[in-house]
A and B are shown apart, each in its own frame.
Chain A
Amino acid sequence: MTRSLLETRGVIKDYAVRVLHGVDLDVRAGEIHALLGANGAGKSTLCRIIAGLTRSSGGTMTLGGETYSPRDKQQAESCGIQIVQQELNLLSTLSVAENLFFNRLPRRLGVIDRGALRRRARVALDRIGLNEIDADTATGTLGVGQQQLVEIASALDRDCRVLILDEPTAALTGDESRRLFRWLDELRSQGVGMIYISHRLEEVTRLADRLTVLRDGRTAATVAAHEVSPDGMVQLMTGETSDESSHAGQWRSHAGSHSLLRVVGLSRLPMVDNVSLEVRAGERLGIAGLVGSGRTELLRAIFGADRAEAGELYLGEDPTPRRFDHPSAAVAHGMAMVTEDRKQNGLLLSLSLLINTTLCSLDRFSSKLGYLHRRAEASETARLLESLETRCTSIEQAVGTLSGGNQQKVAVAKWLLRDADVFLFDEPTRGIDVAARRRLYRLFDSLARHGKGLVIVSSDLDELLETCDRITVMSAGRVTGTFDRSSWSRDAIMRASFAGYRRSGEEVA
């Protein structure tokens, strides 16, 4: 039992920057090994390397004592390594049976053997207790939790020595989770090694034999699960308690007293649950939390990109309760939002810097009849992009040809030109280089100095600790804590980040 089934030694991964600095992990046969860490600690990257979805840049792996270095997912699967990722990879119009056996459908003379397919699907579904699901149902008609279970069943039906589960219970009901756990117990007794990632620390206590904590791309500790409490786990993830080092590089606060935006009881279930917060003039409010805790959804609900189901917004001194049903209404009331996904909804990648920059300010650059003053547009765009130190050859260049950091500057420039009272930033520095990041921090500072209110969602806690005046923590859709500079610590913020999951975790266990 003590011999390693899967072992990684000094695994390194470089993207634009190094994200894994030498990770050691060993998983034994017949154990559930929890993998813990804060956002960006490297859990997903490590799992992707093990599952053959990406290749490591250094280090070694062994599987059952032999060197293991999968070229791709196929090879990993043939070695008996299966991964169930958080996002669903099912084809919703195909039947459950077809999805279960998608790349190995039973065939006779090239024609799908429906009978065999149905029989084998039945066995696979019954095994994980999905007796009530008809194998012929279109997968898209199932609930998300059931789809997740089908996905797990699909991984399990193959020859499986190591199973990687990334947040498998995120979409499951308590009942479904319990069913999953029983089944994982059985796999354990069959000698399968499992890597288990979850925000729900009580689950980890209930399930795992041992756990490994990653911190900043390094292995921080590997301990037996019964030796450490959920609080202890959080502490391992943060490192030392009350780390003061980040406070040194803080930006000066410009927070005033009068309120610019008050959010009261905003809800859009299940991702945003009764959230209240306030942003004052000149204030930078950070929103921390784990990935998937509802922070993006909160910003979208505030901005009117998604319709909130309940709650009100109050702007400035105005006592009128509002709720925006379209971003245009939010913009008209002095809000701006720099979105997380530049490609999807932030920029018009194939169009020029100029068109992107002036898109929401065209009324300023046109006559009453809508005739554009292109010269004014061009000079304003050039001035603004230059002040943001944007690297480009021409403002007629397609914005998609720029680097991530420069794209982000264009996305921000668009709202600077338009101007607003409250700026919502969703992961403003994701995927951008250090120089661009520093430039954005300076911009946050200058906006605050001019009395703007900023709401900054970031998965990089250091960033929030450095730039923000206050930090509100979201966990499982709820606000689980708000800290100001005098009261915050990494430890407290991390604990709050897990708090929402712990309550629901107890229900499950």
Chain B
Amino acid sequence: MKHQDVGETSPKRSVRQTTSSLLASSIPYVGMVAVLGVLVLIFGLMSRNFLSLTTLASLANQIPDLTVISVGMTLVLIVAGIDLSVGSVLALSSAVVGALMVDGGWPLWAAVPACLLAGAGCGCFNGVVSVYARIPSFIVTLGMLEIARGGAYLITDSRTKYIGSSVEWIGTPMPGLFVSPAFLLAVAIVVCGQLLLTRTVFGRYLVAIGTNAEAVRMAGIRSEPYAISVFAISGLLAGLGGVIQTSRLSSADPNAAVGLELAAIAACVIGGTSLAGGRGSIISTFFGVLMITVLQTGLAQVGASDPTKRIITGSVIVVAVLLDALRRNWGKAHD
């Protein structure tokens, strides 16, 4: 029977496909690399200073905090949730570091775990409330956005706490190397995040839950612990973002990272993550972060005014998502 139909073959052949080469698995990123290349080229032509080590250093300096937050955001979006609180949680975590080191005299190695714990705690709260009380995470994390920001002001007495050189090294390029420890850490988190998502049971469940939570339940899997963990991870990474930002500013600023959640969501969406859940890639999100950062840095260098910068950045986000949607529909039509 099977032989009659030439278009369909037994699934055996596909076994080879799953163990495909690195080259094949990098195909989805080709488009993003190309767009990134075009952006760099345009800015390179428009500004003689753009293609310089200084620009590169500035990029590498700006990227880490947005990157770690976007990794968490990608995971949250994959389970069909959203985390609007990451910017505020970052500020709160940063405030914890500032308060402990400046007022409490704690050393950095003790303050950092406390700060990560604060971030993870906020994330856990988000997860537990939204999952067990069945409140949309949009609402819960919107609440946390205010709570954490308020907490940051409270802890710092609404003043920027200057810490100084004891934290600066994290965001400073290492001697002999071009990049900072923070940058390496961010890259490591991207790699770990991607492995977690594609190579572990945990990641597999996240994608499944985001695709159809009811089907997952009927498969005999309790999805609640996974959904909560994802919010906890997002909070933890926001805490880490707090450490990175503190080091870059040499101080804890309760006003830091206002609106960062939106940049993170934009990075995810540019990378093709679906807000409806079930689809996303950490590597693609990283490209999204690169694109947003290159765009902002480039526009600043060519002397674009702030309104122009905003309009262009916004347009690029819309166009990127539009292209992704077109590509997807095209792919579907030609399956």
- Give the interface of A toward B (CB within 8 A): 303, 305, 326-328, 330-332, 337, 339, 344-351, 353-355, 359-360, 362-363, 366, 369-372, 374-375, 377-379, 381-382, 385-386, 389-397, 401, 414, 435
Contact = CB atoms under 8 A, between A and B. Distances in A.
Contact of B202 (A347, A370, A377, A392): A370
Contact of B278 (A347, A350, A354, A389): A350
Contacts of B222: 326, 328
A346 B199 CA distance: 24
B30 interface: no
Contacts, number: 122
Interface string B195-215: 000011110110110011011
B103 interface: no
A353 B11 contact: yes
14 contacts: A337-B218, A339-B218, A344-B214, A345-B218, A353-B11, A360-B221, A362-B201, A372-B201, A374-B199, A377-B18, A382-B12, A386-B11, A394-B11, A414-B219
A378 B1 CA distance: 24
B199 A371 contact: yes
A351 B220 CA distance: 18
Contact of A326 (B207, B214, B217): B217
Sorted nearest first, the 9 A-B pairs with minimum C-beta distance are A331-B220, A394-B14, A378-B18, A370-B201, A345-B214, A348-B211, A360-B219, A327-B220, A328-B220
Contact of B212 (A349, A372, A391, A394): A349
Nearest to A374: B18
A116 to B, nearest CB: 39
B278 A351 contact: yes
B260 to A, nearest CB: 30
B200 A381 contact: no
Contacts of A372: 199-201, 204
Contacts of A366: 200-201
Pick from B9, B17, B207, B215 the residue with the most CB of A within 10 Å.
B215
Interface string B4-16: 0101111111110
Contacts of B218: 303, 305, 327, 337, 339, 345-346
Given A360-B219, A390-B11, A394-B11, 9 more contacts: A326-B217, A326-B222, A348-B212, A354-B18, A370-B202, A391-B2, A392-B8, A393-B8, A414-B219
Contacts of B205: 362
B149 interface: no
A382 B212 contact: no
Interface in B1-48: 1-2, 5, 7-15, 17-19
B279 interface: yes
B141 to A, nearest CB: 25
Contact of A330 (B199, B211, B220): B220
B324 to A, nearest CB: 15
